[in-house]
Amino acid sequence: MIRRIRRLVLGLLLLGLPGGVSAADRHITLASTTSTEQSGLFAHIIPVFRNSTGIDVRVVAVGTGQAFAIARRGDADALLVHDRDGEDEFVARGYGQERQDVMYNDFILIGPSQDPAAVAGADNIVDALQRIAGARVPFVSRGDDSGTYRAERRIWELAGISPSGSWYRALGSGMGPTLNTAAGMDAYVLADRGTWLSFGNRQNLTVLFEGDETLFNPYGSVLINPERHPHLKHDLAEIWHRWLISDEGQAAIASFTLRGEPVFFPSGR
Amino acid sequence: MESGENAFLTAFQLIVGMDPVLTGIVLLSLQVSLSAVLIAALIGLPLGAAIALWRFPGRGLLITLLNAFMGLPPVVAGLLVYLLLSRAGPLGQFGLLFTPTAMVIAQCLLVLPIVAALTRQVVEDLWNEYAEQLQSLGASRLRSIPTLLWDGRISLVTAVLAGFGRASAEVGAVLIVGGNIDGVTRVMTTAIALETSRGDLPLALGLGLVLMLLVALVNGAAFLMGEAARRRAG
């Protein structure tokens, strides 16, 4: 009996606890958004970065609000998100050292192809959302603290509407689950183009309105303030931060396509 | 990983093709969940037995709490471990967040109450039956623990398997403390959640079938070991 236990303990030691991080490898942890990760952008550009610098980038893809929270607590070395106001505030409050434009794409209004609220003929995105509210047709919202949700709230504000009622459904989910729900209930939804292009379960959904400059969706890289979190790999993070706007980084972003379409447009200087 | 037209075909192709990405994910899933279950068993079996044998103030409350924690939502366990391991948290300096070790800790927290609570019940029943016998042989309570655990091993394997089921099925805790990092902390359940949110439902369900097969294999192995032990015992 005792021998059995001893053997079990020995076996456990041999199996070994899954190790944390070996000291030799050079990597940073990047807090970013689901839209960039799920579109496949990182799988496209990180190998290029790794080849040229020997640094690996581990992406934790969450909503923009959660990405800010992770970075504020010192759990990520770098930050790449899409909420201009939030990024500026992050820097202003001393969490970030500097923010720079990296790339952009746009938000699009998705809905059932029959388009019951006739948003396809709208003058602009504000008019389109007013038509949806007027027709009281189902609209699903992220309802989380994501960059896309923050953009959606800004447009509702411009439209002078505070959406409520049974037609407006705030889910509290990521972009993908929200699109799955919209597909299931034939609802309208504001989405980022990256997630939409990589989304496989479209059913009856289609792009109904796009191209308004209010729908501009800029992504920024934020360098985290080393004074607040001295343990972070600030030097490696800065190499990544600079690489994103280098010629090589910008070219890598531009060469990423889905279904033959570019997904992100470089905007670094 | 590529998805096919339907989930069963996709699952079949994933298994037959020995997709290297999938193999890595499967191995990490097993490593994390089995480690969590082993640690939880090493703590939970003696702990459950001790609660069964000794009478002390607050024992009823402890048993109730232990039973209640069997229903701890994985997302809450994940959040607790996240706050603990975060750089701003008490164990932040070890840098364990977003590593497999963090996932083991979170799953351990989920499995431990199940193993301890079920062990307490099994051992208490055995104790009620054999207490006089053991005491007449001069065995103290402490010395009785190994005997009772060995006696209840068949039921206790089921308790440990229930713990393994919980560990391998949960997604909420490992998603928060692991971060679902490609090639580092992505396990079966977080991969399934990811493919679902990408709208690749056949691949998501295919991965689900692979996971079920894996859990069935582990349970099958435990069953065969139990049978072998029973036969040896005559």
The tokens of B202 are what?
């056949």
Query: Pairing mode, if any, of strands A139-141 and A168-170?
Result: parallel
* Contact of B168 with B211, CB cutoff 8 Å: yes
Distance (Å, whole) CA A230 – CA A24? 20
Does residue A18 form part of some domain? no
Residue A144's CATH number: 3.40.190.10
- Portion 182-241 of A in contact with B at CB < 8 A: 183, 198-202, 229, 231
3-state secondary structure of A221: strand
The number of C-beta contacts closer than 8 angstroms across A and B is 97
Q: Does B230 touch chain A (CB under 8 A)?
A: no
Q: Are residues A29 and A85 in the same domain?
A: yes
SS (H, E, C) A100-157: EEEEEEEEEEEEECCCCCCHHHCCCHHHHHHHHHHHCCCEEECCCCCHHHHHHHHHHH
Residue B41, exposed/middle/buried by CB under 10 A (0-12, 13-18, 19+)? buried
Chain A residues in contact with B182 by the CB 8 A cut-off are 42-43, 58-59
Q: Are residues A134 and A227 in the same domain?
A: no
Sorted by where each begins, the domain ranges of chain B are: 7-229
Does residue A31 form part of some domain? yes
Residue A94 neighbours by CB distance under 10 Å: 10
Chain A residues in contact with B179 by the CB 8 A cut-off are 29, 58, 60, 62
Q: Are residues A223 and A202 in the same domain?
A: no
Note down pLDDT in tens along chain B; length 234 residues: 666 667 788 888 888 887 888 899 999 999 999 999 999 999 999 999 999 999 999 999 999 999 999 999 999 999 999 999 999 999 999 999 999 999 999 999 999 999 999 999 999 999 999 999 988 888 888 989 999 999 999 899 999 999 999 999 999 999 999 999 999 999 999 999 999 998 888 889 989 999 999 999 999 998 898 888 778 876
* Sign of the alpha-carbon torsion through B202, B206, B207, B211: positive
Bridge partner list, A32: A61, A80
Q: Are residues A229 and A205 in the same domain?
A: no
Chain B residues in contact with A20 by the CB 8 A cut-off are 94-96, 99-101
Residue A26 neighbours by CB distance under 10 Å: 12
Distance (Å, whole) CA B14 – CA B204? 12
Q: What is the pLDDT of residues A44-103, one digit of tens each?
A: 999 999 999 999 999 999 988 899 999 999 999 999 999 999 999 999 999 999 999 999
Q: Please state the domain count of chain A.
A: 2
Q: Does A13 touch chain B (CB under 8 A)?
A: no
**Within 13 A of A256's CA, how many CA atoms are on the CB side?**
28
Q: Are residues A74 and A159 in the same domain?
A: no
Q: Are residues A88 and A43 in the same domain?
A: yes
Chain A residues in contact with B199 by the CB 8 A cut-off are 176, 179-180, 183, 199-202
One-letter amino acid identity for A82? H
Q: What domain range is A233 assigned to?
A: 24-105+218-266
Q: Are residues A197 and A117 in the same domain?
A: yes
Chain B residues in contact with A205 by the CB 8 A cut-off are none
Q: Are residues A227 and A196 in the same domain?
A: no
- Portion 12-51 of B in contact with A at CB < 8 A: 28, 31-32, 34-35, 38, 42
Last residue of a domain, one of A176, A199, A215: A215
Distance (Å, whole) CA A194 – CA A38? 8
* Contact of A252 with A265, CB cutoff 8 Å: no
Q: Does B146 touch chain A (CB under 8 A)?
A: yes
Q: Does B3 touch chain A (CB under 8 A)?
A: yes
Is the domain spanning B7-229 CATH 3.30.1360.200? The answer is no
How far CA B165 is from CA of A226, B11, B40, B123, B232, in Å, comes to: 42, 20, 13, 22, 27
